[in-house]
Amino acid sequence: MRQHLLLLANPNGRNVTPKKIKILQDSFPPGEGRLQVSFVVTENLSRLEKVINEYKDREITLVGIVGGDGTVMRTRTLLENIWDYCPLYAFFPEGTMNNVQRAIGLDKKDSSLQLARHIVAAAGTDTLEMHTASLPSLDINGKKGFNIGFGLIPRLLWMYYGHSAKHYWELEVALQRCAPEEYQSRYKEITGKREEDFFDLLSKERGLWGAAKAGLRLLKGWKARDERYLLHKTLAGEVAFDGKKQDFPQPPLGAYLSCYEEINLGFGTFNPVPSPEANKEKGKVQVVVPYGNPFSIIPQMPKVAAGAKLSNAVYRYISSLTLPAERIAQVDGELILEKGFTVRYDGTRKVIMLPATE
Is residue 54 within 8 A of residue 60, CB to CB? The reply is: no
Q: Tell which wins on pLDDT, 284 or 356.
A: 284
- Provide the phi-psi class of 186: left if phi over 0, else alpha when psi is between -120 and 50, else beta: alpha
Which pLDDT does position 318 carry in this prediction? 93
d(CA 154, CA 11): 25
Q: What percent of the chain has pLDDT over 90?
A: 25
d(CA 275, CA 304): 14
> Among the CATH numbers 3.90.640, 1.10.3470, 2.60.120, 2.60.200, which is that of 145-346?
2.60.200
Which pLDDT does position 223 carry in this prediction? 57
pLDDT band at 222 (very low <50, low <70, confident <90, very high): low
What's the chain's length in residues? Answer: 358
- Give Dmax over CA atoms of the chain in angstroms: 65
Which pLDDT does position 14 carry in this prediction? 67
Task: Give me the architecture of the 3-130 domain, per CATH.
Answer: 3-Layer(aba) Sandwich (3.40)
Residue-wise pLDDT tens digits, 203-213: 444 555 555 66
DSSP string, 134-194: EEEEEEETTEEESEEEEEHHHHHHHHHTT--HHHHHHHHHHHHHS-GGGHHHHHHHHHT--
Which pLDDT does position 176 carry in this prediction? 77
Residue-wise pLDDT tens digits, 254-274: 998 887 765 555 554 444 444
Q: Is the pLDDT of residue 143 over 90?
A: yes
Q: Where in the chain is the domain with CATH 2.60.200?
A: 145-346
Q: Where in the chain is the domain with CATH 3.40.50.10330?
A: 3-130
